[in-house]
Amino acid sequence: MATQIFVNLPVKDLNKSVEFFTKLGYTFNPQFTNEQATCMIVSDTIFVMLLVESFFKTFSDKEIADSSKVVESIICLSTDGRDAVDTIISKAVEAGATTPKDKIDYGFMYSGSFEDIDGHQWEYMWMDPAGPPQQQ
């Protein structure tokens, strides 16, 4: 069995978060959805658990990072091409996200980022399958 990843993120309003990510084209697993949490499907092996803050707090004794002031992580997902990066960033902004940085273009790698409605930082990138240019 392939390793699966479950990223757990605290959210202030689960319904608004579901609405936001639905606008980006994501779907959710109803088997793992209730009034406290939902499982956003990114791929066959990648899932994001959106957890209402009070429920998220039951998993750790630490304070939840105030994502309006600090970066707790950057979630980076690959895409099939440059256009896909531009499309997802545009959809996110239309849905209420902000863009903290300009897009980065290294030629062989292209990325863009946004902060979702809870301040979590997401990055989408495309990399040429040939990789970076070979140094002479």
Q: What is the pLDDT of residues 62-99, one digit of tens each?
A: 999 999 899 889 999 999 999 999 999 999 999 999 99
Residues 99-110 have a mean pLDDT of 94
**Alpha carbons 22 and 91: distance in angstroms, whole number:** 10
The stretches of the chain forming alpha helices (DSSP H) are 14-23, 53-56, 82-94
The answer, yes or no, to whether residue 3 has pLDDT greater than 90, is yes
Reported in sequence order, the residue ranges of the chain that DSSP labels E, i.e. its strands, are 5-11, 27-29, 37-41, 46-52, 74-78, 104-105, 109-115, 121-127
Listed residues 58, 79, 103: the one ending a domain: 58
119 is in which domain, residue-wise? 70-136
13 shares its domain with 54: yes
84 shares its domain with 49: no
**CATH classification of the domain holding 45:** 3.10.180.10
53 shares its domain with 83: no
The pLDDT of residue 132 is 86
**Alpha carbons 59 and 16: distance in angstroms, whole number:** 22
44 shares its domain with 81: no
The pLDDT of residue 1 is 78
Residue matched to tokens 């980006």? 24
- Does a structural domain hold residue 65? no
76 shares its domain with 121: yes
95 C-beta neighbours (distance < 10 Å), count: 17
79 shares its domain with 134: yes
**For a pLDDT cut of 90, what percent of the chain falls above it?**
88
**For a pLDDT cut of 70, what percent of the chain falls above it?**
99
The answer, yes or no, to whether residue 102 has pLDDT greater than 90, is yes
The answer, yes or no, to whether residue 109 has pLDDT greater than 70, is yes
The pLDDT of residue 62 is 93
45 shares its domain with 86: no
